[in-house]
Amino acid sequence: MNFFTDNDDLQFHFQQGVAWDRFVPLWEEGFRFEDGPRALGEAREIYDETLREVGQYAAREIAPHAREIDEQGVGFVDGLVIHPPALLRNIEGLKKLGVMGVNLPRDLGGSNFPMTAGTFMAEVLSRACTNTFLFYVFHQAPAVPIARFGTREQRERWVPRLASGEISGSVAMTEPDAGSDVGNVSTTAVPEDGHWRITGRKQFITNGCGDVSVVLARTEPGSKGLEGLSLLVAPRMENGRDNFRVAKPEKKMVIRGSATCELSFEGSCAELLGPRGAGFSEILTFMNEARIAVAIQGLGIAEAAWRAARAYAERRVQMGRPIARHEMVADMLLDMETEVAALRALVYRCVQLQDRILGLERGKSANARELAALKRALRDRTPLLKWFGSERTLWVTRTAVQVHGGYGVVQDYDVERHYRDALILPIYEGTSQIQALMSLKDQARWAMERPWRLLTGAVSVEAPADVLGDGVRDLAAEYNRALRYVVRRRGPELAFARLHAERLTAMLAYTRAAEALAAQASASARHRRLAERFVTRALPLVRMQGDVIRSGDLSTLESLQS
């Protein structure tokens, strides 16, 4: 019972798939720290030992209580948010393991693990109980911008307490009238006697009841749009009294054990975090990292749902044989396995890019050209990863319910909960449609910077020189053909392209997932089989999306003009 060691694909990525030597020496600054590993091999041993401990704890202690946490939900008594007792016990266990701040700097109480090592842990936790994963994340997540942008005093005051699990926090960006439209933020902050006073409302804030909140507010009077925004740090309590009000948590059908709160700031005391007016660039960094985290959350849920469906299908007998031996069910199970493997390949490709970037920036001696190329590659893939990790996890969990038949909608079976929890993935941290618009904007801009790219292909892929590689290149060609078509269409502000933004994103997401999966095809016969199946199944889907785009149907745009 160990959610790290029982997963062969996860073990492959840890042992062979991840190029640790590309970023661990950068994170450890040449292994110069006396309280850190002295070589790459020792660092990997530390990661492995930690992940084995967490994997065992997740399987034996966290997973058995996941349904209980979902049923208990979040309470609200006398103005206080009450977390499910089983959830708090899970966190206490993780505290005892000393893993609450694994990705935070060692000098601030963390373990200085690279993001990739933390991703293995996050996937394991999300598979066991996604509510526990979320509460765990929001001990570490608010510490990241504080460690990155804060003063020395702010870092030392907040980050060690978050890293140890003594306190938790939130990042408050969303408002009732400003969800994905960050430029419409109306919460304001004004300076007063060396501090700042925040006034406004925030909505849908995960763990908004935490002990500290990183708040996005407008600090420049008269500013509009993305200008004039800043990040501030606001403690939950100030001088023994509430510094901001936490309204009753939302009653949700998804992630019931996670507190989603509305916050009211009425002259709340806060400190500026980072340069004044730099809030948008700072929060954008956090948002992109959060979108990767959502895909990791989806990966854990998808893994759990696929395993539950396979186990049920192997023991459920119909017409004289297990339903896993019936052709259509076997087809669904293999498609689920393939989708999960593709998502995992794309996740670990992205977090390795992230680690290389962070490591190079830490050393402050990076080759500017390499750093720009890495950032471009990560920016290209982040909205695709968020889209794929959300939409395809939703498909995997829905299929798991179908495999269970009538039992799939009964709460005694976990797949019902997995499906409900997956419903939030395409919504928070930027909807799937927002990811599509982001991807379209970037791809169109990169193509138009050098218009000849539209002819040669705006997107290129790295793929083996064989039949499998030909399939990956065919996927890229289909996307390039569709992008060329929408960019050339005349219309106000690329309206036709925006209409098909999600279709284009689906095409490119399948292409990048296929690229990542094909890169590991030579590792084993199983990896080759999964990569070939994914490409074979993806190519007709991508062609279909391209056919819809190139049909030139304008009925939706015409309806908007009527």
CATH of domain 169-277: 2.40.110.10
Q: Mind listing the pLDDT tens digit of every residue in the chain (562 residues)?
A: 999 999 999 999 999 999 999 999 999 999 999 999 999 999 999 999 999 999 999 999 999 999 999 999 999 998 899 999 999 999 999 999 999 999 999 999 999 999 999 999 999 999 999 999 999 999 999 999 999 999 999 999 999 999 999 999 999 999 988 767 788 899 999 999 999 999 999 999 999 999 999 999 999 999 999 999 999 999 999 999 999 999 889 999 999 999 999 999 999 999 999 999 999 999 999 999 999 999 999 999 999 999 999 999 999 999 999 999 999 999 999 999 999 999 999 999 999 999 999 999 987 667 888 999 999 999 999 999 999 999 999 999 999 999 999 999 999 999 999 999 999 999 999 999 999 999 999 998 888 787 777 777 889 999 999 999 999 999 999 999 999 999 888 666 689 999 999 999 999 999 999 999 999 999 999 999 999 999 999 999 999 999 999 999 999 999 998 8
pLDDT at 184: 87
Model-level pTM?
0.96
Closest CA relative to residue 508, chosen from 546, 547, 466, 470: 546
Q: Which two tokens stand for residue 341?
A: 């493997």
One DSSP character per residue, 121-151 reads HHHHHHHH-HHHHHHHHHHHTTHHHHHHHS-
| CATH architecture assigned to 281-430 | Up-down Bundle (1.20)
Question: Could you give the residue numbers annotated as active site?
Answer: 429
Distances (CA, A) of 401 to 229, 327, 398, 508, 534: 44, 17, 5, 28, 22
Question: What distance in Å separates the CA atoms of residue 312 and residue 329, rounded to the nearest whole number?
Answer: 11
Look up residue 450 and give its two tokens.
């050098």
Query: Is the CB of residue 139 less than 8 Å from the CB of residue 162?
Result: yes
In the chain, where the domains are located: 1-167, 169-277, 281-430, 450-561
Between helix 40-57 and helix 85-97 the angle, nearest 10°, is 150
- In three state form, how does the secondary structure of 15-45 look? HHHCCHHHCHHHHCCCCCCCCCCCCHHHHHH
Distance in Å from the first CA to the final CA of the chain: 60
Angle between helices 152-164 and 130-140 (to 10 degrees): 150
If one looks up domain 1-167 in CATH, what number appears? Answer: 1.10.540.10
